[in-house]
C-alpha cells in the first residue's frame, strides 16, 4: 500500500518558511513529520512549470531535485506531475494564440491555471519540451516511482475551446470520420433546417447561436473534444514511456463528471488515479458509486508502482474543501472512514490533498494534513498518523487482493452527452440520479458493483443493469443480445434505444434493435412533470414493500412474447404493461418502462437477487457499508459505519479483527464513523503454559 500526501515544497521556502540563510530548511522537518505519520510517498510538482522554466529555455530543476533528495533521506518515494496544467505567464505573452477561446470567441486570459487550448500545436510543442527536460533531469532520480500527467483534466470547464486551430482539427476529425461530405450531410442529418454543407471547412463549431445546433453535430463535437483530451494525455504518456521506461503514468480523474470519455483516458494511462472529494455532507452510497465508477475505468493492463492492482486516490481531501458556500470542518473520524471506503473499494494508494495549508494563493484555507502553523500537533495530523499506523498493519494482508463484482451497471459517456445536450422529452430526467437509484439499492444490500461500457465483455457478470441507454449503437445492441442469449440477466429501462450512434431515431420501433430481446415494443412514451405520478400494479411474485409510483416517464408498451410484471394504474394507459420480462436464449431481459422512488429499487434488487443467485457480502444493519477485497483463499471484509451513532452488529461466526488483533463474535458495537477490517481466519488463542 502506498500512503502519502500532495506536497508543494515550492510553498515552503523563505519567506514562507525556512530562514534567509537556509531558505529550504523546512523541508527536512516536513519529511520527518511525514515519516512519523506513516507516509511513504508524495506527489509533487504538478504546477511547477513557472519555477522549472522561469524564462524560456532557462531551466531550473535543482530545487525539485533537492526536495526529492530530502525525501530520499527519509525513504519517501515520489510521484512527479507534468506541469502542463499551469503554463507560465511568459508563454501566454509570447504566444497569445495558446489562450483558449470560449463559445463567444472571447479569450480566457492568462494568470491562473488551465489557460490553454489543447488543440494548439504551439502549446503541444512547449509541453513536449518541458516534459522532455523534466524527464531527462529528474526521471532517473531513485525516488521517482510514477508520473501524474497534467492535472484536473477538463477542470474549470476547459474541455472545449473554439480557437482557429481547434476549428482546423475539428474539420480534420470530421473528414477522417465521414470521408465524404455527402456522407456527413446524410449521417448528420443536415437537411434539418437545411444546414447542408459542400465543404468540410464549412461545418460550424457549436458556438453561441440563436438556438440549438443539430444534436448530431453537438454529439460529434463532444466526441471530438474528448478525443482532443485523450490525444493530449497520450502524447504525454508516450513521451514519458519513451524517456523513462518502466515508470507508470496516471492522472487525477474525477468520478466521470467531466465532458470527456474517462474510459478512453484510462486506456492511455498505466493505472487510474482519482480525486476524492468526500466530505461529511456526501452520502456514503454516492461516494461509493463514484469510487466504483473510477475503479471500473481500467479492468486490465493495470501497471501501478509496486505492481499491485487497483487504483490510487492521488487527492483524498484531508479536511474541508474551499469551494462550497460554507466549508465546514470534516468531523473527527470521517477522513479515516472515507480513506477506508476508498481502500475497501480497491485503492492501493491513498495520498492526502494537501500536506500543509498554504500560506499563499487561492487555496490557503483548504483543509490540510498540517495547519498553517506546520507544528504537527493538530487534530487532522493526529488522525492521519493513526490511519498511517493502521495501514502499516494492513498492507501485507491487502497486497494482491481486489474487488470482484458479479453485477454491473452500464455507463457510456456518449449516451450521457445525448441526454445532456439538445431538447429532451423530459428535462427533469437526470441519468445520474437514475443510475444512483439502482446503485443505492445494490450498495445498501452490500452487493458489489462494477461499471462498464456497453462494448465491454459482460460475460463475467450474472446481472447487467442498463439504465436509459438513449443512444445505443447497433453494435452495442448486438452485444447486449449476445450477453442475454448466453445466459445473462439484463435489466433495461425507459429512454433506451431512441437514437443510434448518429443520433438518428429508428423506424423499426423502440428500443431500437432490442424489441426482440425484450419481446415487446414501446409505441409511445409519456413524460410526466415532477410531482405528477402514475402508479404501478404488480403481478406475480414481485415483492412490494410500498406502493410504487411511476414518475417522470411512462413507456406505453405493446407486449409480444414477454411476460408482464407490472402495469400502470391510471390514465388512458391503465392496465398497459409498465414492466416486463422476456426469456431470450438462455437468459432473461427485464424492461422497466418508468422511473420510481427508491423503495421500488430496493424491492427490485430483492427480487433480482433471487433470480440471479446474488448474495450480499455479509448480513449487517442497513446503515453499515460492507465491501470485500479478495484473492485466492483470502477474503478481507470492510465494515463502515457512516452514522453519527453507534451500530450494533451481530457476528454469527468468529471474525478476526485486523486492526486490534482480537476475535469478534456475538454482539459488537461499531462506534460512530467506526471501521472494522475483518477476515474469517481466526487466530487460535494461545494455550496456557503448562504449570511447571
- Closest separation in Å from C-beta 83 to ligand GLA: 12
Q: Per-residue x/- mask for ligand GLA, residues 546 to 575, rule CB under 6 A?
A: ------------------------------
**Nearest alpha-carbon partner for 209 in 175, 258, 162:** 162
Q: Per-residue x/- mask for ligand GLA, residues 249 to 288, rule CB under 6 A?
A: ---x----------------------x-------------
Check residue 152 for interaction with ligand GLA (CB under 6 A). yes
Total residues contacting ligand GLA (rule CB under 6 A)?
8
Check residue 315 for interaction with ligand GLA (CB under 6 A). yes
Check residue 321 for interaction with ligand GLA (CB under 6 A). yes
Query: CB-wise, 321 or 404, nearer to ligand GLA?
Result: 321
β-strands 41-44, 2-6: how paired? parallel
Contacts of 470 (CB under 8 A, 6+ apart): 415, 418, 419, 495, 496, 497, 498, 499
Angle at the Cα of 255 from the Cα atoms of 252 and 260, rounded to 5 degrees: 80
Query: CB-wise, 352 or 461, nearer to ligand GLA?
Result: 352
- Of 119, 151, 385, 436, the one binding ligand GLA (CB under 6 A) is 151
Strand partners of residue 567 = 537, 577
Check residue 378 for interaction with ligand GLA (CB under 6 A). no
Query: CB-wise, 152 or 467, nearer to ligand GLA?
Result: 152
**Is 211 buried (19+), middle (13-18) or exposed (0-12) by CB count in 10 A?**
exposed
- Closest separation in Å from C-beta 620 to ligand GLA: 33
- Closest separation in Å from C-beta 363 to ligand GLA: 6
Q: How far is it, in rounded angstroms, from Cα 124 to Cα 130?
A: 10
Query: CB-wise, 275 or 292, nearer to ligand GLA?
Result: 275
Helix and strand tally (H, E) in the chain? 17, 24
Check residue 611 for interaction with ligand GLA (CB under 6 A). no
Query: CB-wise, 321 or 659, nearer to ligand GLA?
Result: 321
Check residue 407 for interaction with ligand GLA (CB under 6 A). no
- Closest separation in Å from C-beta 85 to ligand GLA: 8
Query: CB-wise, 97 or 363, nearer to ligand GLA?
Result: 363
- Give the DSSP H/E element, type plus range, for residue 582: strand 577-584
Whether the CA torsion 569, 574, 579, 583 is positive or negative: it is: positive
Query: CB-wise, 252 or 415, nearer to ligand GLA?
Result: 252
**Nearest alpha-carbon partner for 494 in 602, 422, 568, 440:** 568
E strand intervals along 370-500: 407-410, 449-452, 463-466, 489-493
Taking CB under 6 A as the binding criterion, the range among 115-123, 231-239, 315-323, 606-614 that sits at the site for ligand GLA is 315-323
Provide, for the chain, the percentages of residues in helix, strand and coil under a 3-state DSSP scheme, each rounded to the nearest 5: 30, 20, 45
- Closest separation in Å from C-beta 251 to ligand GLA: 10
- Name which of residues 335 to 374 contact ligand GLA (CB under 6 A): 363
Query: CB-wise, 273 or 674, nearer to ligand GLA?
Result: 273
The grid coordinates of residue 400 equal 494482491
Query: CB-wise, 133 or 363, nearer to ligand GLA?
Result: 363
- Closest separation in Å from C-beta 329 to ligand GLA: 16
Check residue 533 for interaction with ligand GLA (CB under 6 A). no
Query: CB-wise, 319 or 346, nearer to ligand GLA?
Result: 319
- Closest separation in Å from C-beta 383 to ligand GLA: 20
- Closest separation in Å from C-beta 47 to ligand GLA: 7
If you ran DSSP here, which 8-state letter would residue 683 be given? P
Query: CB-wise, 363 or 657, nearer to ligand GLA?
Result: 363
DSSP 331-384: PTTHHHHHHHHHHHTTEEEEEEE-SB--SSSTTTTS--SB-TT--S-SHHHHHH
| Distances from the Cα of 96 to the Cα of 107, 109, 131, angstroms | 9, 9, 21
- Closest separation in Å from C-beta 351 to ligand GLA: 11
- Closest separation in Å from C-beta 371 to ligand GLA: 17
Which residue, chain included where needed, has cell 498554504? 358
Query: CB-wise, 362 or 459, nearer to ligand GLA?
Result: 362
Check residue 327 for interaction with ligand GLA (CB under 6 A). no
Are 394 and 658 within 8 A, CB to CB?
yes
Check residue 625 for interaction with ligand GLA (CB under 6 A). no
Check residue 577 for interaction with ligand GLA (CB under 6 A). no
- Name which of residues 471 to 510 contact ligand GLA (CB under 6 A): none
Are 217 and 206 within 8 A, CB to CB?
yes
Check residue 316 for interaction with ligand GLA (CB under 6 A). no
Check residue 594 for interaction with ligand GLA (CB under 6 A). no
Q: How far is it, in rounded angstroms, from Cα 189 to Cα 639?
A: 53
Query: CB-wise, 323 or 652, nearer to ligand GLA?
Result: 323
Q: How far is it, in rounded angstroms, from Cα 33 to Cα 36?
A: 5
Q: Per-residue x/- mask for ligand GLA, residues 632 to 661, rule CB under 6 A?
A: ------------------------------
Are 174 and 203 within 8 A, CB to CB?
yes
**Residue 148: Cβ within 10 Å count:** 26
Query: CB-wise, 165 or 315, nearer to ligand GLA?
Result: 315
Contacts of 307 (CB under 8 A, 6+ apart): none
Query: CB-wise, 279 or 412, nearer to ligand GLA?
Result: 279
Three-class SS of residue 17?
A: coil
Are 314 and 273 within 8 A, CB to CB?
yes
> How long is the chain?
692
Check residue 45 for interaction with ligand GLA (CB under 6 A). no
- Closest separation in Å from C-beta 279 to ligand GLA: 11
The grid coordinates of residue 514 equal 432490442
Are 444 and 602 within 8 A, CB to CB?
yes
Q: How far is it, in rounded angstroms, from Cα 302 to Cα 304?
A: 6
Question: Could you list the residues that contact ligand GLA (CB under 6 A)?
Answer: 151-152, 252, 275, 315, 321, 323, 363
Amino acid at each position: 500500500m502506498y500512503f502519502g500526501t500532495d506536497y508543494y515544497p515550492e510553498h515552503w521556502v523563505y519567506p514562507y518558511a525556512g530562514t534567509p540563510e537556509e531558505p529550504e530548511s523546512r523541508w527536512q522537518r516536513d519529511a520527518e513529520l511525514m515519516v512519523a505519520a506513516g507516509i511513504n510517498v508524495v506527489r509533487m510538482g504538478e504546477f511547477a512549470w513557472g519555477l522549472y522554466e522561469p524564462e524560456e529555455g532557462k531551466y531550473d530543476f535543482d530545487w525539485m531535485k533537492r526536495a526529492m533528495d530530502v525525501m530520499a533521506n527519509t525513504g519517501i518515494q515520489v510521484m512527479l506531475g507534468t506541469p502542463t496544467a499551469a503554463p507560465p505567464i511568459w508563454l501566454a505573452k509570447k504566444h497569445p494564440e495558446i489562450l483558449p477561446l470560449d463559445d463567444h470567441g472571447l479569450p480566457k486570459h492568462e494568470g491562473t491555471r488551465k489557460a490553454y487550448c489543447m488543440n494548439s500545436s504551439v502549446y503541444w510543442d512547449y509541453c513536449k519540451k518541458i516534459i522532455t527536460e523534466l524527464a531527462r533531469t529528474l526521471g532517473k532520480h531513485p525516488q521517482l516511482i510514477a508520473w501524474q500527467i497534467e492535472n484536473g483534466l477538463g477542470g474549470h470547464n476547459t474541455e472545449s475551446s473554439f480557437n482557429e486551430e481547434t476549428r482546423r482539427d475539428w474539420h480534420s476529425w470530421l473528414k477522417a470520420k465521414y470521408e465524404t461530405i455527402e456522407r456527413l450531410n446524410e449521417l448528420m442529418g443536415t437537411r434539418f433546417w437545411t444546414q447542408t454543407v459542400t465543404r468540410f471547412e464549412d461545418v460550424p463549431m457549436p458556438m453561441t447561436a440563436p438556438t440549438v445546433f443539430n444534436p448530431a453535430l453537438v454529439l460529434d463535437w463532444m466526441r471530438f473534444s474528448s478525443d482532443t483530451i485523450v490525444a493530449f494525455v497520450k502524447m504525454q504518456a508516450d513521451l514519458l514511456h519513451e524517456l523513462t521506461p518502466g515508470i507508470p503514468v496516471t492522472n487525477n480523474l474525477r468520478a466521470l463528471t467531466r465532458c470527456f470519455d474517462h474510459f478512453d483516458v484510462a486506456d492511455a494511462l498505466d493505472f487510474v488515479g482519482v480525486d476524492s472529494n468526500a466530505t461529511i455532507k456526501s452520502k456514503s452510497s454516492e461516494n461509493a458509486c463514484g469510487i466504483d465508477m473510477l475503479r471500473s475505468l481500467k479492468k486490465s493492463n493495470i501497471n501501478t508502482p509496486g505492481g499491485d492492482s487497483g487504483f490510487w486516490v492521488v487527492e483524498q481531501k484531508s479536511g474541508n474543501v474551499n469551494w462550497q458556500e460554507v466549508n465546514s470542518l470534516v468531523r473527527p473520524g470521517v477522513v479515516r472512514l472515507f480513506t477506508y471506503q476508498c481502500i475497501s473499494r480497491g485503492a492501493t494508494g491513498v495520498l492526502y490533498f494537501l500536506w500543509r495549508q498554504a500560506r499563499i494563493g487561492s487555496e490557503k484555507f483548504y483543509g490540510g494534513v498540517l495547519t498553517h502553523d506546520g507544528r504537527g500537533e493538530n487534530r487532522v495530523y493526529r488522525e492521519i498518523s493513526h490511519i498511517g499506523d493502521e495501514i502499516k498493519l494492513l498492507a501485507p494482508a491487502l497486497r494482491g487482493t481486489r474487488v470482484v463484482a458479479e453485477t454491473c451497471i452500464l455507463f457510456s459517456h456518449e449516451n450521457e452527452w445525448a441526454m445532456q445536450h439538445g431538447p429532451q422529452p423530459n428535462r427533469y430526467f437526470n441519468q445520474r440520479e437514475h443510475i444512483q437509484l439502482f446503485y443505492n439499492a445494490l450498495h445498501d444490500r452490500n452487493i458489489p458493483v462494477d461499471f462498464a461500457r456497453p462494448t465491454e465483455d459482460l460475460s463475467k457478470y450474472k446481472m447487467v443493469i442498463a439504465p436509459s441507454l438513449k443512444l445505443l449503437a447497433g453494435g452495442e445492441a448486438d452485444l447486449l443480445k449476445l450477453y442475454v442469449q448466453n445466459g445473462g440477466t439484463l435489466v433495461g429501462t425507459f429512454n433506451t434505444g431512441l437514437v443510434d450512434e448518429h443520433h438518428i431515431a429508428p423506424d423499426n420501433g423502440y428500443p431500437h434493435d432490442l424489441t426482440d430481446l425484450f419481446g415487446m415494443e414501446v409505441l409511445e412514451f409519456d413524460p410526466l412533470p415532477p410531482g405528477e405520478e402514475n402508479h404501478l400494479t404488480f403481478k406475480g411474485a414481485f415483492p412490494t414493500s410500498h406502493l410504487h409510483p411511476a414518475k417522470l416517464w411512462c413507456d406505453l408498451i405493446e407486449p409480444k412474447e414477454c411476460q408482464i410484471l407490472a402495469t400502470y394504474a391510471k390514465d388512458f394507459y391503465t392496465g398497459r404493461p409498465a414492466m416486463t420480462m422476456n426469456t431470450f436464449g438462455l437468459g432473461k431481459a427485464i424492461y422497466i418502462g418508468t422511473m420510481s422512488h427508491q423503495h421500488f429499487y430496493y424491492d427490485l434488487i430483492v427480487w433480482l437477487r433471487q433470480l440471479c443467485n446474488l448474495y450480499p457480502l455479509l448480513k449487517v444493519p442497513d446503515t453499515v457499508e460492507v465491501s470485500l477485497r479478495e484473492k485466492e483463499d483470502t477474503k478481507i471484509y470492510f465494515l463502515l459505519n457512516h452514522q453519527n451513532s453507534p451500530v450494533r452488529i451481530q457476528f454469527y461466526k468468529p471474525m478476526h479483527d485486523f486492526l486490534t488483533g482480537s476475535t469478534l463474535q456475538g454482539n459488537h458495537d461499531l462506534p460512530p464513523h467506526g471501521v472494522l477490517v475483518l477476515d474469517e481466519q481466526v487466530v487460535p488463542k494461545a494455550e496456557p503454559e503448562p504449570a511447571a
